[in-house]
Structure 1
Amino acid sequence: MSVAEPRKIVLFRHAKADWPQVSDHDRPLAERGRKDAAVAGRALAGTGIPFDLALCSGAVRTRETWKLAVPELAHRPKTVYEERAYEASPGELIALLNEIPDDVRHVILIGHNPGMHGVADILAGESDGDARERMRRRGFPAAGFAVLAYDGSWKGLEPGTATLTDYWEPSE
């Protein structure tokens, strides 16, 4: 099934987390992470992508990142907190994306590395401009995101079927 305008997938890594004496799942954002999450939200708004769905890992740092980024968007998408996105491999993340109903056009997945970087690299059969090189340069830092375009049904999303159209990371 092909669609007139490509679907958009944004893979958004959580912002910088703190290291208090709590479980990894319960780590909150650091002060810098809170600032970068809002900046990333403005950059996400600048893409102009009208997200229909946000899939967010259930970890504290991903939920906090999304709560700070989403107010910057013109439209707040439906958000689903998905525990399977926590510590997920690229294959597990692609399987999550494969479950999205086809009436959803544009999705943002808020998660963790190395999964975010891995799935962006695996899905992108092609890349516009220097987006792939910019993504690889620093290894997909905290609060960074990749934008992919994809033609077809979510069930058909597999390695190499998307195009990496943009990559963004916060400045130092």
Structure 2
Amino acid sequence: MSVAEPRRIVLFRHAKADWPQVTDHERPLAERGRMDAAVAGRRLADSGIPLDLALCSTAHRTRETWKLAVHELPHRPKTVYEERIYEASPGELIAVLNEIPDDVQSVVVIGHNPGIHGLAEVLSGSAEGDARERMGRRGFPAAAFAVLSCDGSWKSLEPGAAALVDYWAPSE
């Protein structure tokens, strides 16, 4: 795989979680979250991005979101559950992305706010169409995702190095 080909990064926030009497890490999805996760998976499938790798936070709500979304995809990417994604800052998430092997062309990161939204803003040095405007208007609600494109190796990924090419959020 050539590093000259654009890479794709999908930044996917977990769907709406419930607030039962459990630790934050163990919070499950709410009923609305379960529905939105499947819808997000169908929308991601419609994007046509052939995902090679999924990096998912170990939190219950992110694992549940991914389990529901991945069933909608035509191809299941390799999934790695990564503790460092839980409560990660944009800089910490970039460090995780920098470790991806160069034979991976596209990745989805299933994580949490404010890190996922912050990472979308930090990485996107440019934007196509009205993607930035839509993301700015909607913020990054539960089950939303942003698609970024970048050139070069994963090790060279840094702030401003990507273009925001798509943004989607469930209707409220």
Amino acid at match of 1:44: L
Q: Map 1:11-160; keep pairs closer than 5 Å.
A: 11-160=11-160
Q: Deviation at 1:124?
A: 0.3
Q: Deviation at 1:4?
A: 4.3
Q: Deviation at 1:3?
A: 3.4
Q: Report how many aligned residue pairs link the two structures.
A: 171
Q: Deviation at 1:138?
A: 2.2
Partner secondary structure for residue 72 of structure 1? coil
Residues 147 and 166, structure 2, Cα contact 8 Å, conserved in 1: yes
Q: Deviation per CA, 1:72-96, whole angstroms, max 9, x where unpaired?
A: 1010000000010000000000000
Partner secondary structure for residue 12 of structure 1? strand
TM-score of the superposed pair, with normalisation by structure 2: 0.98
User: Where does structure 2 lack aligned partners over 5 or more consecutive residues?
Assistant: none
Q: Distance in 1 between matches of 2:154 and 2:167?
A: 21
TM-score of the superposed pair, with normalisation by structure 1: 0.98
Same amino acid, percent of matched pairs: 80
Q: Deviation at 1:156?
A: 0.2
Q: Distance in 2 between matches of 1:130 and 1:109?
A: 22
Residues 42 and 72, structure 2, Cα contact 8 Å, conserved in 1: yes
Q: Deviation at 1:152?
A: 0.5
User: Where does structure 1 lack aligned partners over 5 or more consecutive residues?
Assistant: none
Q: Deviation at 1:43?
A: 0.3
Amino acid at match of 1:47: S
